[in-house]
Amino acid sequence: MSTQPREPYPRVTALQEHQHVPSQASAAAGDKTPDYINIPWQKTPVNLQGSYGQPGDAYTQMPPARPAVTRVLGYHRLSHADPKTRWWSPLVEGLIGIGVFAGLSLIITLPLLAAIFVDPYYADVLTASDPMQSLTDSAFENPWMFAYLFGSVAIMFPSLWIARLCLGPRPWGLVHSVSGRMRWGWLLLCIGLAVVVFVGLPMLVGLFTGESQTVTLHEPPQKLWIFIVLLLTLVPVQCYAEELVFRGYLMQTIGRWLKHPAFAILLPAPLFMLGHTYDLWGQASVLCMGIAAGFLAWRTGGLESGIALHVVNNVIAMFGGLMGTADPFVQEGSTFADFAVVFAIELAYVLAVLWAAKRRKVQRTREVTH
């Protein structure tokens, strides 16, 4: 028998769970019955035999698993669908998006600044007393200025995409709808409804009143086809980007903190209005449009109806600007009657979408289990 003293048994680590710890006496006697056993949810090993003449520790039952909780979320509450997001996540997401937007804005502006030294036309536009007014006036004269005007807004789309890719909530499709994706069939139906309302209602008004509102402000620009291509490609992306930010990001940010949908619908609308430099009644029309798009996003569970409203409105307005029959950037001269017509058109569209959503049983909420 070895005379070397036996060292105390070392402390059992977390990686040695379920290993038995025999005492020195039992080990020397060849007894393999453990004195202690590690239980995963116990902080210390359980004493099976106890001291001489004393019972050992009782086994502790495993704590019950936390029951899964199922929640039903509206569109504005979809930030809660990703359990990894926190209350501060939308704030950091916004900061990342602003940083990306600033970088992309610089990238697309540098060629325009460089053009100042090549063509005095661009110098006159950018050095005018009111650069924004000068930019909008030149948009229907120069296709590059048209592309810059709408492209500078369209870059909000990749800015938000990169920000959400970095921080969540995931998947990306949650910003589009409660289904976690863009519902293309529903989007196309809403575009059709918007075309019918925005084109048909003014025609009916003209038929009943016998008045023609067609005026000629200027002649169509040269190379009209280039403008038409830009109108049908870039303007929808610009509208989509604005809906992502003002109805997607902002609604879901507010919905992260405030449960009632009224906050998420109403609070982003003034910011949407301030992003447009119109006169009083023009601003009021934009405000109503923002509220209508926010309401539809909540009521239909996604951005599709708001995107359709925005795209059809802007494409028709910009086409009128190209043909010289309207001034879509009007900053003065609009009246309450103009506002009333726009309000009636938007109200008719909202009612048409609600009717179609009910007929199609469009999904409004998303169930998540955590």
Nearest alpha-carbon partner for 319 in 235, 206, 215: 235
Average pLDDT over residues 173-199: 96
CA distance 279 to 307: 24
Nearest alpha-carbon partner for 308 in 207, 194, 230: 194
- Is the CB of residue 194 less than 8 Å from the CB of residue 317? no
On average, the pLDDT of the chain sits at 84
Question: Is the bond preceding 83 in cis, omega lying within 30 degrees of 0?
Answer: no
When mean pLDDT is compared across 177-181, 310-314, 336-340, 347-351, the lowest value belongs to 336-340
- Is the CB of residue 245 less than 8 Å from the CB of residue 156? yes
When mean pLDDT is compared across 12-21, 37-46, 229-238, the lowest value belongs to 12-21
What tokens does 356 get?
A: 């179609």
CA distance 46 to 38: 6
When mean pLDDT is compared across 89-98, 277-286, 328-337, the lowest value belongs to 328-337
Q: Does the structure show a pLDDT above 80 at 360?
A: yes
